[in-house]
Amino acid sequence: KQEVTQIPAALSVPEGENLVLNCSFTDSAIYNLQWFRQDPGKGLTSLLLIQSSQREQTSGRLNASLDKSSGRSTLYIAASQPGDSATYLCAVIKAAGNKLTFGGGTRVLVKP
């Protein structure tokens, strides 16, 4: 059974600092990995999708890496801003069309 873990559960940084969020999964046979942002009481906003054949994906200040063999992904957010404060979730999918398995999320606070 796939287990997804995100450490740390919470993170507080001063504005301008780079953020590093970690995600690990137990079964390396994944189809892709997706990072989401969730604001309090809101839905999930897709940030990045990394397919199993890729090692990284970039969008603006966001960069996500994937190391399937070690079961890890890292989300980097450069030059953090207070507006980046949210919970960040990673999720993996085993095969096309199948369910996403989510981690517990990392709650980020960027202090001005």
| Residue 10-49 contact track with other proteins, rule CB under 8 A, x = bound | ---------------------xx-x-x----xxxxxx--x
Longest CA–CA separation in the chain, Å: 41
Q: Which is nearer to other proteins, 62 or 91 (CB)?
A: 91
| Spatial distance between the Cα atoms of 89 and 37, rounded to a whole number of angstroms | 6
Which of 11, 14, 18, 36 lies closest to 90, judged by CA? Answer: 36
Binding footprint of other proteins on the chain (CB under 8 A): 31-32, 34, 36, 41-46, 49, 51, 89, 91, 93, 96-105
